Amino acid sequence: MNWKNLSNLLAAGVIGLGLAACGDDDDGGTNPIADAGPDQGNPDEGTSDGGPGATVSVTFMIDDSVNKTYTASDRLAWKGSFNYDGATNTLTRDPGWAGPYPLLHDDGTNGDQTANDGLWTVTVQVDRPATDALNFEYGAVRNAGGTDPLEGLDQGSEWIWNAPGGNGTFIVGPSDTAISPSGLTIEPFGTNDFRLTIDSAVVRTSDPEDDGEANWPSYDPASGMQVKSGAWGWSLVPVESNGDGTFTFTYGEDVVGKPAFKHSGPLPSGFSAQFVFVLGSEAGDPEYKAPGIGAVMDGITAEVKTGDGPWQRVPLVRAGQDNNTAVRTPGDAPDVDFVFATFQIDDSTNKTYTVEDRLAWKGSFQYDGATNVQNLNTGWA
């Protein structure tokens, strides 16, 4: 994802959402917006697993108070770089995101304040570290696996995290007592629809690397076409053939109103729906993506409309850490969604550092001092 930073601002290029569903190309549903291991490059060296005794209360919330489409049967869960033990209500740091994960509640228990208000909440405990802070990364899923009333598993879950800036993060320090990491707000439904058409003749000749060789020369339109998107949780949806080698998908007809997609409604204004086509109708068929490039745009046209208005063709954009294709609905949202982040090193006691020591914030990004903007770079260059 394009991260931008003002005040050591991180930004998330174009957000891929789904009303209650988003992410990027989910890549199987395992920390889809995350690096495959959240601690790429330089892991959290020297972090401790926490000291004995004292714990820190951590509260996470998903706000579905407007649409109110979620119920307990949807098994909303807070997924991240931790394991959750429902018996002790504790989180333990796990860079592999193996789970289980804590389920969220809207019944007045487990940290939830008011039943049935659409504010899904969980409060858990983390052992307070004795010295070095614990760093966590997270997102959110629905349909978490298993049947435990407190714990959710990764199997079968759908990634719905769509906040700007990629995965959420929080830090548990030696002096913390209670933390509320940024939650997820399910955007109210809007009045916008989008339509995608893909031409298989162009797909067969597409050469995204510009190396003189087509990537999918043997693709046969008779094998079908599918599409997945953050607008409905990254599950695969068949795309209808027009009988002439082209395929057309209409969000308002193929997703909205279908029982399987009860959380997906007409899109709000200024919303970017990330999507990826899959060349075929079988599991394991190739995605329309190229290494080092991301989702391919060749042969794809996108249209949007508001309410009963006419369809209007719009340009495709790239979005997300995986460089997915995306279509933006009309509206006043900015071309880039900014997240402001401030990083601090506390030397207020010893006060041994000066400007000559050139303290720096090092991570999986590149910083441009002229614009005060950071862009994602997983190589820590």
Please give the pLDDT value at position 103.
Answer: 98
pLDDT for res 364: 80
Average pLDDT, the chain: 83
120 and 247 in a single domain? The answer is: no
Q: In this predicted model, what pLDDT tens digit does every residue of 240-299 receive, in sequence order?
A: 999 999 999 999 999 998 888 989 999 999 888 999 999 999 989 999 999 989 999 999
Residue ranges making up the domain that contains 210: 192-328
Residues 273 and 200 in one domain: yes
SS3 292: coil
Same domain, 202 and 80: no
d(CA 30, CA 231): 18
CA-only gyration radius of the chain, Å: 22
Question: Residue 175 is part of a domain; what is its CATH number?
Answer: 2.60.40.10
Q: Is residue 171 part of a domain?
A: yes
- If asked whether residues 166 and 57 sit together in one domain, one would say yes
Q: Bigger pLDDT: 363 or 253?
A: 253
Residues 126 and 249 in one domain: no
Name the residue with higher pLDDT: 41 or 52.
Answer: 52
Residues 235 and 288 in one domain: yes
What are the pLDDT digits (tens) for 193-241?
A: 999 999 999 999 999 998 999 999 999 999 999 999 989 988 999 999 9
pLDDT band at 102 (very low <50, low <70, confident <90, very high): very high
Q: Is 308 found in the same domain as 222?
A: yes
| Pairing, β 337-339 against β 365-368 | unpaired
Among residues 312, 328, 344, the one where a domain terminates is 328
For residue 134, give the nearest of 61, 12, 45 by alpha carbon.
Answer: 45
Which one is predicted more confidently, 116 or 380?
116
Whole-number pLDDT of residue 25 = 54
Q: Is residue 16 predicted with pLDDT exceeding 90?
A: no
Same domain, 174 and 213: no
Closest CA to 188 of 268, 106, 125, 259: 268
150 and 213 fall within a common domain: no
More confident residue, 210 or 85: 85
pLDDT at 338 > cutoff 70: no
Supply the pLDDT for residue 292.
87
Q: Show the tokens assigned to 254.
A: 């193929």
Judge if pTM exceeds 0.75.
no
